[in-house]
Amino acid sequence: MFLDIGYGSDAAALLLVPEFTDAHIHPYDLDEYPAVGDSVTALIRHISWDDHKIALTQNQTYDRDSQTWTRPERGVR
C-alpha cells in the first residue's frame, strides 16, 4: 500500500502487508486494510535516497543502541 507522507510527489512511501500491525500473527482480510483517505501510523524502516523510495513498518521497533529491528510479541487478536 502506497502512502502519502507529505514528502513530495517524487517520494514513494510503501507499507507492505507483512509490515501491517500483527501481520505476523494473523493474515489480514481485505476488509481490514485501511481505506483510501484513512490515517495510519508507521515507522520509517529504510530510505533509498537515490530513487526516493521509503519503506515503512507498523509491526517492528528499532533499537538505536543495538541498531536492530525487532518484532514485539503480541497476543493473538
pLDDT digits (tens, 9 = 90+) for 10-68: 778 888 888 887 777 777 888 888 888 888 888 888 898 888 889 998 887 777 888 88
3-state secondary structure of 45: strand
More reliable by pLDDT, 72 or 69: 69
**Does the pLDDT value for residue 76 go beyond 60?**
no
Question: Would 20 be classed as within a structural domain?
Answer: yes
Give residue 74's pLDDT: 54
The whole-angstrom separation of Cα 52 and Cα 7 is 10
Q: What's residue 73's pLDDT? A: 62
In a domain, 76, yes or no: no
Which structural domain range is residue 24 located in?
A: 2-70
Count up the domains in the chain and report the number. Answer: 1
